[in-house]
Chains A and B, each alone.
Chain A
Amino acid sequence: MFTLKGNRLPAADVKNIIFFVRPRLELMDIIAENVLSEDRRGPTRDFHILFVPRRSLLCEQRLKDLGVLGSFIHREEYSLDLIPFDGDLLSMESEGAFKECYLEGDQTSLYHAAKGLMTLQALYGTIPQIFGKGECARQVANMMIRMKREFTGSQNLIFPVFDNLLLLDRNVDLLTPLATQLTYEGLIDEIYGIQNSYVKLPPEKFAPKKQGDGGKDLPTEAKKLQLNSAEELYAEIRDKNFNAVGSVLSKKAKIISAAFEERHNAKTVGEIKQFVSQLPHMQAARGSLANHTSIAELIKDVTTSEDFFDKLTVEQEFMSGIDTDKVNNYIEDCIAQKHSLIKVLRLVCLQSVCNSGLKQKVLDYYKREILQTYGYEHILTLHNLEKAGLLKPQTGGRNNYPTIRKTLRLWMDDVNEQNPTDISYVYSGYAPLSVRLAQLLSRPGWRSIEEVLRILPGPHFEERQPLPTGLQKKRQPGENRVTLIFFLGGVTFAEIAALRFLSQLEDGGTEYVIATTKLMNGTSWIEALMEKPF
């Protein structure tokens, strides 16, 4: 298995070569290059191509134009729409989905989302109720209803696992991903970027501590770690506010060293055997603890820096509605000091969203500052952000954000980071709008927030998919409902954490399974919207 690269294929003594690719035109060019150089090299090989998740006419056309279509013995599709990332998390990992849907009017990923949902329903039963908010959500629901009609007769009758499906457009809540996530996992993602559940970390902190080493052989290659709930400790701390992680880690450290001390108490052969049998587990736990202690140290270096504090202060001011309508000093200074453009854009967009758009003067000022400092080519990026609604002039002179904030209780002053009582702990005060919508849907229902729903973009709707009488659930008292929540356009780890928090609430009544087009954060999101013409 090799990664797709231009020019010649890596040498290997094989007859068959299979390309697994996303149906993207630029990838076809690379494949054509591979095939052509291979053909020149001599003994012919058999080529096959598998498109993930679907075959595309355009791609095949491109291969044909490049004169290599005939070289493929098989052209098939591998309909992998939703990839499981964790017990409660599925993602399509489609980077371009947000841009395609909201900027380019290309609904391909929505179609794939609908297909993925149909597959899920084929496996886990028809979902009796569909709720949604947003233009794309509406589209996906329409496609699902249509596809259901297409599949009639071939459905197998399965007792439904999910009670509800909630489809949410990312552009209903543009705010949340812009803010810095403050959960443990969210911060790892913000600072180092989690890619396909792996993170690459600077290696220094992970160097094995050997005596007399003098630190001369520090590893230079990044430390790669897998992050998911299979790791006991990570499952426990990933969704906690970072400020609550330290105490857990030190508690764990005590427990583990106590467990190792047990060996002195093991006297009989039986006791020793018992101890030894637990050793692998204990050693794994100790390794895991060491890793996360190192990661926490790395993160702490960042979060205790003055600049991080200043940035967070500004974000929190915006989200709580303070001084959102004038040019912000901190942002100005960031630009003047040429901080990373993405950081600046995130802040400016956050301010715009928290003010229902900026005054024209303020907006133009920011834009001009950005163009002069970072280069005029970024005018294309700015246009993209404006098209996506992330950056916009305030129209009608009305700022709706305070109404939304108050009705949905987006800002909580009395947040408890250690033992949270509300989802707002994931951003140390700000409760993610998207998750609040989900929470209010399950209790007391969206009817209570009709007014706010009307302010937010796109239609909100409810569809029922009738079940045959035999499959209707009779709920036991105290049994939780299961809601599948699908974020069209991406979801952040902090939002996932908030949903998991709701799932675990004793009187919550709803468990969530999360699906999305892409696991993302503000940085990767803005990056996908940026355009670099050279």
Chain B
Amino acid sequence: MDCYTANWNPLGDSAFYRKYELYSMDWDLKEELRDCLVAAAPYGGPIALLRNPWRKEKAASVRPVLDIYSASGMPLASLLWKSGPVVSLGWSAEEELLCVQEDGAVLVYGLHGDFRRHFSMGNEVLQNRVLDARIFHTEFGSGVAILTGAHRFTLSANVGDLKLRRMPEVPGLQSAPSCWTTLCQDRVAHILLAVGPDLYLLDHAACSSVTPPGLAPGVSSFLQMAVSFTYRHLALFTDTGYIWMGTASLKEKLCEFNCNIRAPPKQMVCTHEFLHEVPAASEEIFKIASMAPGALLLEAQKEYEKESQKADEYLREIQELGQLTQAVQQCIEAAGHEHQPDMQKSLLRAASFGKCFLDRFPPDSFVHMCQDLRVLNAVRDYHIGIPLTYSQYKQLTIQVLLDRLVLRRLYPLAIQICEYLRLPEVQGVSRILAHWACYKVQQKDVSDEDVARAINQKLGDTPGVSYSDIAARAYGCGRTELAIKLLEYEPRSGEQVPLLLKMKRSKLALSKAIESGDTDLVFTVLLHLKNELNRGDFFMTLRNQPMALSLYRQFCKHQELETLKDLYNQDDNHQELGSFHIRASYAAEERIEGRVAALQTAADAFYKAKNEFAAKATEDQMRLLRLQRRLEDELGGEFLDLSLHDTVTTLILGGHNKRAEQLARDFRIPDKRLWWLKLTALADLEDWEELEKFSKSKKSPIGYLPFVEICMKQHNKYEAKKYASRVGPEQKVKALLLVGDVAQAADVAIEHRSEAELSLVLSHCTGATDGATADKIQRARAQAQKK
């Protein structure tokens, strides 16, 4: 550690670059790299190598070979290239290898050399061939840009959601541009190209000529251009050996220098060395003779370990400046940027040392840094080979890092990281187990039973595991039986059902939907089944599933009345059939004959249902309907759909007493109700004469109090009194009070010696007129009490 800054190189006045070796590559390369097409994925991703890409011979032995390595050079896959000639290789953000062929076809491979899919860059590209291609990354994903033999550009900004865009023509472009690159500005991909001394910017609408500000004169051609990962900065290399660097918007120049090399660089790939700007925190601490608080703290801690009193001096110095907090933060931050665990440790130790002298330093940043570094060190390990920097890791997020481990099938490490970071199960362990299971179902040499069992054993009821996703994967591999077995473990029927339907296991889907209780899900399956099966089979299926049957009936009630009838028929549900036809008699039929016919069908159904009452009632209704029609014909007026009771009342009100009597007899209206009916009707007519005649026709089955009441209701006290005298003893007091004969009511009550009646009468004694009566009652009461 004598000279920590030995690998630092100054860049300008204020920045340093440093470079150190990450891995000594383990690969056994037979060819020179320059004979290969090489693509290294960003963020410490894999490296792809296509050997012999340009050999045109047909012999199988010299066919190109595609090798994929981890960033540390561990071989991941190797396959013989059997497709067409490849122009360019590149990795997508999802770590999929995109191989752009000369014919414009793009073949997509996984990390393990597994073929995923392919797509074409369009007809124009196919016809004119691919001259050059670039794979680039935007915030939406990874894109492909193609330069065709006709010197036109075609690009897709996101291969996940392929939309091809043919860029406008560059005026006067006869040969290939000397160099070009993709830019991404304002969320839109552009192409910057150089034709001799001219620069052009292509967007989807137009081609515009651009000039970098402050460009040195004398440039006759741009040979190379490079854009930074963030699309913020751009470097141009000219035939004069001059390099211009500025913003990618070409609005500002940052620097320029002359390197006096005129030959264009061929292809630069940096794989096993790591070159980056020294982060500010590290610079502060390690710069020679730095007096930054972090640097002092590091010194203090070292002296402390040496048990030297200098430790105290350094510490005092920091504290006097009030910079201890800052010092600790610097050390923590700098630790993050170190690759060597030793260096990380010593910085963290210094931070921890400094923390002891601070009252309230929130522990989070220290704890998190320790955790992050452990994770980073683990994935940087040679065997894993993901050399992420701390900043890259933070940008990538732990979720994506876990995804990448999963992609590399490093399930145990991923799980260990989840457990170490105590990630919630759903986002952590469960998700990784689910991925493992998806991988497992693709192992075709293992039997369905064994795979299902193995998966269930490991996953069990781990929360958040979607068995349906795993099943879908199994189904995707053509293992339907395995998929069904796996679905058995899926607790969410909402997830089971669609997949079962897709696999054409509709009946199983139906029982699962029913189990869930989610009626909408049941309907989904039912409508599916209805189209899939013939009517007979469909009905049979329903018959075995009462819940589904009820729901389907509900559906039919609203949508398909005829089917509802068929369903009842199938089940011999005559009671419901009867009700069905009753409804039909109202809904569908207007002519009386039609209604009667519908009712007859209903009555027959009720007989079959052994519901004699309903059958007879329906027959009565038919009789009444016919009769009402006849009454309308003969007497005029409206009778149809009146109740029997109202029909009789209407007849009485119309003066057709004989007919009313006849009807009452025909339909055997009970005497009591008939008396109420007549009484009400005659009072309504105020036909007092007829009412009196009626009251005397025989002894009233309802007594005479109703007569009193109804007369009083029509304010006819005179008539009411006639009946009050005929009211039986039990209700006499009530009747007399109704007609306002308080005195006589009192007499009757006294005679009855009924306390209840006495108080009732007393409550009616109002005003002076009843004073005597009231006294009389009080006397009677007193007497009763004496006894």
Contact = CB atoms under 8 A, between A and B. Distances in A.
B558 A332 contact: no
B444 interface: no
A104 B554 contact: yes
Interface string B602-636: 00000000000110011011001000000000000
A375 B575 CA distance: 20
Contact of B464 (A25, A154, A368, A534): A154
Interface residues of B, number: 59
Interface string B493-528: 100000000000000000000011111100110010
A369 B491 CA distance: 54
B543 interface: no
B643 A373 contact: yes
Nearest to B644: A372
A58 B559 CA distance: 10
A55 B520 contact: yes
A373 B645 contact: yes
B652 to A, nearest CB: 14
A106 B673 contact: no
Contacts of B150: none
Nearest to B710: A337
Interface string A363-392: 010011101111111011001000000000
A76 to B, nearest CB: 14
B645 A372 contact: yes
Contacts of A26: 558
Nearest to A59: B520
Interface string A49-64: 0000011111001100
B617 A114 contact: no
A153 B464 contact: yes
B71 to A, nearest CB: 34
Contact of A111 (B464, B519, B614): B519
Given A57-B523, A104-B550, A107-B517, A380 B492 contact: no
A248 interface: no
Contact of B520 (A54, A105, A110, A377): A54
Interface in A476-504: none
B515 A105 contact: no
A139 B676 CA distance: 49
Interface string A95-111: 00000100011111011
A146 B517 contact: yes
Contacts of B716: none
A369 B670 contact: yes
Interface string B585-604: 11100000000000000000
B527 A105 contact: no
B558 A25 contact: yes
A271 interface: no
A139 B517 CA distance: 8
A62 B618 CA distance: 35
B341 interface: no
A107 B425 CA distance: 34
Contacts of B555: 58
Task: Report whether over half of chain B's contact residues are helix, strand or loop; otherwise say mixed.
Answer: helix
A68 interface: no
B680 A337 contact: yes
Given A332-B672, A373-B645, A379 B618 contact: yes
A380 B613 contact: no
A61 to B, nearest CB: 7
A335 interface: yes
Given A379-B617, A383-B579, A142 B517 contact: yes
B532 interface: no
B772 interface: no
Contacts of A450: none
A333 to B, nearest CB: 7
A154 B546 CA distance: 33
Contacts of B677: 336
A152 interface: yes
A290 interface: no
Contacts of B672: 332-333, 336
A367 B613 contact: yes
Nearest to A335: B673
A65 to B, nearest CB: 9
A143 interface: yes
A369 B583 contact: no
A212 to B, nearest CB: 29
A379 B425 contact: no
Nearest to A371: B617
Contacts of A54: 520
Contacts of A336: 672-673, 675-677, 702
A300 interface: no
Interface in A78-110: 100, 104-108, 110
Nearest to B616: A368
A149 interface: yes
Nearest to B645: A373
A57 B673 contact: no
A533 interface: yes
Contacts of A413: none
Interface in B629-686: 641-646, 667, 669-670, 672-673, 675-677, 680
Given A153-B426, A369-B670, A372-B669, A107 B519 contact: yes
B478 interface: no
Interface in A332-380: 332-333, 335-338, 364, 367-369, 371-377, 379-380
A110 B518 CA distance: 9
B661 to A, nearest CB: 16
A372 B524 contact: no
B22 interface: no
A506 interface: no
B553 interface: yes
A63 to B, nearest CB: 13
B398 interface: no
A150 interface: yes
Interface in A186-221: none
B669 A107 contact: no
B583 A533 contact: yes
A337 B681 CA distance: 11
A335 B645 CA distance: 10
A369 B676 CA distance: 13
B101 interface: no
A111 B551 CA distance: 13
B714 to A, nearest CB: 15
A247 B668 CA distance: 52
Contacts of B425: 153
Nearest to B677: A336
Contact of A375 (B553, B641, B675, B702): B641
7 contacts: A57-B520, A57-B523, A153-B430, A333-B702, A374-B645, A379-B614, A379-B618
Interface of A: 25-26, 54-58, 61-62, 100, 104-108, 110-111, 114, 139, 142-143, 146, 149-150, 152-154, 332-333, 335-338, 364, 367-369, 371-377, 379-380, 383, 533-534
Given A376-B621, A376-B624, 10 more contacts: A58-B555, A114-B517, A149-B491, A153-B462, A337-B680, A369-B673, A371-B621, A372-B645, A376-B643, A380-B579
